[in-house]
Amino acid sequence: MKFATKAIHAGQEADPTTGAVMTPIYQTSTYQQLEPGNHKGFEYSRGTNPTRKALEDCLAALENGKFGLAFSSGMAATDTVLRLLNPGDEVITGDDLYGGTYRIFMKVYENYGIKFVFVNTSDLNDLQSNINSKTKLIWIESPTNPILKIADLQVIGELAKKNNILYVVDNTFASPYLQNPLDLGADIVMHSATKYLNGHSDVVMGALILNDESLFKRLWFYYNAVGGTPGPQDAFLVLRGLKTLHLRMKAHCENGRKVATYLRKHPKIEKVYWPGFEDHPDFEIAKKQMRDFGGMVSIVLKNADLAETFRIASRFKVFTLAESLGGVESLVNHPASMTHGSIPKEKRERVGVVDNLLRLSVGVEDPDDLIADLEQVFS
Ligand SMILES: *Cc1c(COP(=O)(O)O)cnc(C)c1O
């Protein structure tokens, strides 16, 4: 089946007892057993729930994977992967990373004796030269948040395989509509389903998708043992969101292109980060591994200090100043003080997360209204 069909149907069948076309919200914590151990595959909802199972199967299908696991947040999904590590292990990851991922690495897992090495994931030499016998995990974001650098997922996959290193790609920014890291060699795809997958800014959820059954069993153990799993109502909402993922992503990409192109010519803007520009340093890789360039656009304001940047960020009328991304509505975010506030200043400034950087999540409103909003903000 092709993407749009999978988005609408994968994992979902009419309910066998009533014929309900939409997967019911199985609002139950437990399931009857006819005798101990004799049940229909569901025992207790921390581990298994039919609504969540439908969502997990749909997510797996969209990422071309065999197994899906849904979590109560993207961070719970990340935490579950990190539990596979042992003290003394090393992780190689990107220097431009979601702030919460940086925080769980450095403020939680470093305390347990795991070492994190930050590299420029667009520079393969930097990545390769940091691999040693202790390296157990490579964690990649592409496009990165918020500078929108692109890593060559396939080449990194070959490196990981050759060195027997677990390879995880956070595919939140691209969504499976734009790229499928499992097809490029990733062992696990991680998602904040809070963003494009759900797409309506009304649920917090995470997901892992993978192909290897023994790895799936190890992850499922922590999923159930630790219990960061979502409830059925939220699973239903994400399942509903997925049905329009392909339509929304198409519109996000079109509007993203229009907004990026408009801003690039604007005299008040010093720099626009968007991987669809032919002079973006990673454009060729983006073109090779992505089907389009997405709706995330970051901008550096010309000659604006922090106070002026705050004034501008507060002046939008159609865009809303808020954390998060990937919903149908356009959002503007100030990474240095909001999403990336937990990264030390000199560290974030080194990769470009300066005080006058704003990140736009371009929504699916009429693009003329989005451009008009930008025009009034900068006039
Ligand atoms: C939001 C986000 C996360 C964290 O997910 P939550 O659902 O907020 O826990 C991880 N990675 C990226 C790229 C994100 O944007």
Domain check: are 304 and 362 in the same one?
yes
Per residue in 319-358, pLDDT (tens digit) is 999 999 999 999 999 999 998 888 889 989 999 999 999 9
Q: How far is residue 367 from each of residues 245, 260, 324, measured CA to CA in Å?
A: 19, 11, 20
Q: Is the CB of 201 under 6 A from ligand 1?
A: no
Give residue 69's Cα distance to chain centre: 14
Q: Which residue, 242, 260, 293, sits at the end of a domain? A: 242
Q: Is the CB of 74 under 6 A from ligand 1?
A: yes
Rounded to two decimals, the pTM is 0.97
Domain check: are 235 and 251 in the same one?
no
Domain check: are 138 and 55 in the same one?
yes
* CATH code for the domain of 66: 3.40.640.10
The answer to whether 339 and 146 are in contact (CB under 8 A) is: yes
Give residue 234's Cα distance to chain centre: 17
Per residue in 69-124, pLDDT (tens digit) is 999 999 999 999 999 999 999 999 999 999 999 999 999 999 999 999 999 999 99
pLDDT score recorded for residue 342: 82
Other CB atoms closer than 10 Å to residue 288's CB: what's the count? 14
Strand pairing class (357-361; 331-333): antiparallel
Domain check: are 182 and 328 in the same one?
no
98 is catalytic: yes
Domain check: are 78 and 162 in the same one?
yes
102 is catalytic: no
What is the average per-residue pLDDT within 193-220?
98
Domain check: are 200 and 309 in the same one?
no
Range of the domain at 326: 246-377
pLDDT score recorded for residue 109: 98
Marked catalytic residue, from 79, 95, 152, 170: 170
Q: Locate all alpha helices (DSSP H) within the chain, ordered by sequence.
A: 3-9, 50-62, 74-82, 99-103, 124-129, 153-162, 175-178, 213-226, 232-242, 245-264, 283-289, 306-313, 345-351, 367-378
pLDDT score recorded for residue 103: 95
Q: Which residue, 227, 242, 257, sits at the end of a domain? A: 242
C-alpha of residue 98 to centroid of ligand 1, in Å: 7
Domain check: are 346 and 224 in the same one?
no
Pocket-testing residue among 104, 172, 198, ligand 1, by greatest number of atoms within 8 A of Cβ: 172
195 is catalytic: yes
Domain check: are 180 and 307 in the same one?
no
* CATH code for the domain of 359: 3.90.1150.10
Domain check: are 166 and 257 in the same one?
no
Domain check: are 190 and 62 in the same one?
yes
Q: Please state, rounded to an integer, the average pLDDT across all residues of the chain.
A: 97
The answer to whether 376 and 263 are in contact (CB under 8 A) is: no
Other CB atoms closer than 10 Å to residue 231's CB: what's the count? 17
C-alpha of residue 248 to centroid of ligand 1, in Å: 19
Q: Is the CB of 98 under 6 A from ligand 1?
A: yes
Number of domains composing the chain: 2
Which numbered atom of ligand 1 lies nearest the CA of 145? 13
> What strand order describes the sheet that includes 188-192?
67-71, 206-210, 188-192, 166-170, 135-141, 90-94, 115-119
Which numbered atom of ligand 1 lies nearest the CA of 76? 9
Q: Is 216 left (phi over 0), alpha (psi -120 to 50) or beta?
A: alpha
Domain check: are 70 and 141 in the same one?
yes
Q: Which residue, 199, 225, 242, sits at the end of a domain? A: 242
Other CB atoms closer than 10 Å to residue 226's CB: what's the count? 14
Q: Is the CB of 234 under 6 A from ligand 1?
A: no
Contacts of 47 (CB under 8 A, 6+ apart): 223, 224, 229
Residue 5: pLDDT band (50, 70, 90) is: very high
Q: How far is residue 351 from each of residues 95, 97, 138, 149, 343, measured CA to CA in Å?
A: 7, 10, 19, 10, 11
Domain check: are 227 and 267 in the same one?
no
